[in-house]
């Protein structure tokens, strides 16, 4: 589903290289976890996948279901099934959450040549997803993410993900800021979306999340490169011993 080959990316503004040759293949049905120290480039990788133009690709390629993803606009990538749950979801005052959800869902459907949703159908889907994720309808009446607590913002991201039904879900530290109960609710929400047709990349610092969302593969990203790949036990090992060992190998 996702093939990243020797990806190099730098910050467009000052040309600082952040990703220094990332290789990663994620197949449909798999869940990959990416761990790594602060500043190693995890969020940058997720932004590059989503199409943020703060970054310049200097080398390498990204194929999404065989197509060159780097040529696509962010909205085209979304319509093709790419979804990024942001590490820091943005507040957008003046844009009503429901209006936003409807616009996003229908824009993707239009781009794929599908019919737009009727209002009742749309409402039904939102209500169902919201109740699964413990998101109150009250929250959805507010402008997008405005005044949401840290944890509420993360839940709202997963709500969007469930409604948009993407093929590739990239979750950037979705666990940070969640209380213990919310972590379970969100993880359940994510697990419900696991399917043989869908792939997930879960960026996290903590083993705790991976107890709930059990990964097939775990990677360590350090200084813009994947320096170690293993199974779910790698996360346990990292939890105990930290990154020191792997970072040294990278140097």
Partner 1 sequence: MNATALIKHTQAESNLLDRYQSSKDGLAGSIAVSELREAAVEQIRDRGLPHRRVEEYKYSDLRAFMKSAAPLAAAADEAVAKAILADQNSYGDLERYQVVTINGVFAPDLSDVDGLTGEGVVISDFNSALKGEAGAQLLRSPKSAANDGVIALNTAFVQGGVVISLAAGVEVSKPVELVQIATSEGAQVSRTKVTLGEGSKLRLLETFAGETGNGELNAVFDYDIADKASLATTRLIAGKVDAARLFTTIATIAGEAEFKSLGFMAGPKFARNQQFIEFTGEHSEAKIYGVTMAGGEDLADQTLIVDHAVPNCNSREFFKTVLDGRAKGVYQGRINVAQHAQKTDGEMMTQALLLSEEAEMANKPELEIFADDVICAHGATSGQIDEDLLFYLRARGIPEDEARTLLVLAFLSEAIEEYGEDDVTDGLEERVRDWLAGH
Ligand X SMILES: Nc1ncnc2c1ncn2[C@@H]1O[C@H](COP(=O)(O)OP(=O)(O)OP(=O)(O)O)[C@@H](O)[C@H]1O
Q: Which residues of the chain form contacts with ligand X (CB under 6 A)?
A: 11, 18, 36, 38-44, 54, 87
- Look at residue 231 and give the partner it binds from Mg ion, ligand X, partner 1, none, a contact being a CB closer than 5 to 8 Å depending on partner kind: none
Phi-psi bin for 21: left (phi > 0), alpha (psi -120 to 50), beta?
Answer: left
**For the chain, percent helix, then strand, then coil, each to nearest 5?**
40, 30, 30
Q: Is 55 or 148 the residue whose CB approaches ligand X more closely?
A: 55
Is residue 162 part of the contact set for Mg ion (CB under 5 A)? no
When CB distances to Mg ion are compared, the closest residue is: 43
Residues that bind partner 1 (CB under 8 A): 50-53, 73-75, 77-79, 84, 86, 89-90, 92-95, 100, 103-105, 107-108, 111, 143, 160, 164
User: Closest distance between partner 1 and the C-beta of residue 90, in Å?
Assistant: 5
**Nearest CA to 246 among 229, 236, 231?**
229
Report the C-alpha gap between 51 and 46 in whole angstroms.
9
Q: How many CA atoms lie within 13 A of 247 on its CB side?
A: 13
User: Closest distance between ligand X and the C-beta of residue 39, in Å?
Assistant: 4
**Positive or negative torsion for Cα 225, 231, 237, 239:** positive
- Look at residue 50 and give the partner it binds from ligand X, partner 1, Mg ion, none, a contact being a CB closer than 5 to 8 Å depending on partner kind: partner 1
Report the C-alpha gap between 181 and 166 in whole angstroms.
25
**What are the C-alpha distances in Å from 207 to residues 66, 211, 220?**
32, 6, 13
User: Closest distance between partner 1 and the C-beta of residue 52, in Å?
Assistant: 5
Name the one range near Mg ion by CB under 5 A: 19-27, 80-88, 110-118, 130-138. 80-88
User: Closest distance between Mg ion and the C-beta of residue 172, in Å?
Assistant: 6
Query: From residue 32 to residue 51, what is the string marking binding to Mg ion with x (rule CB under 5 A)?
Result: ----------xx--------
Q: Which residue has the tokens 């085209």?
A: 76
How does DSSP classify residue 116? P
User: Are the beta carbons of 147 and 89 closer than 8 angstroms?
Assistant: no
User: Closest distance between ligand X and the C-beta of residue 225, in Å?
Assistant: 12
Name the one range near Mg ion by CB under 5 A: 70-78, 82-90, 130-138, 233-241. 82-90
């Amino acid at each position: 589903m996702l093939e990243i080959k020797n990806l190099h990316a730098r910050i467009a503004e000052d040309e600082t290289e952040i990703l220094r040759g990332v290789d990663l293949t994620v197949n449909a049905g798999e869940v990959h976890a990416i761990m790594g120290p602060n500043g190693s480039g995890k969020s940058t990788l997720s932004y590059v996948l989503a199409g943020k133009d703060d970054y310049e690709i200097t080398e390498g390629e990204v194929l999404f279901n065989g197509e060159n993803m780097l040529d696509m606009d962010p909205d085209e990538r979304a319509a093709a099934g790419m979804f990024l749950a942001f590490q820091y979801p943005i507040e957008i005052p003046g844009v009503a959450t429901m209006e936003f959800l409807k616009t996003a869902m229908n824009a993707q459907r239009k781009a794929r040549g599908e019919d737009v949703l009727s209002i009742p159908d749309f409402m039904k889907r939102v209500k169902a997803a919201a109740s699964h994720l413990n998101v109150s309808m009250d929250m959805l009446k507010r402008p997008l993410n405005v005044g949401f607590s840290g944890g509420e913002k993360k839940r709202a991201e997963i709500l969007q993900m469930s409604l948009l039904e993407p093929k590739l879900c990239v979750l950037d530290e979705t666990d940070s800021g969640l209380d213990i109960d919310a972590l379970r609710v969100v993880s359940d929400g994510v697990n419900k979306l696991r399917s043989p047709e869908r792939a997930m990349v879960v960026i996290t610092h903590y083993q705790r999340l991976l107890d709930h969302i059990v990964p097939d593969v775990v990677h360590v990203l350090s200084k813009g490169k994947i320096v170690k790949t293993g199974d779910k036990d790698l996360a346990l090992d990292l939890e105990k011993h930290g990154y020191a060992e792997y970072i040294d190998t990278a140097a």
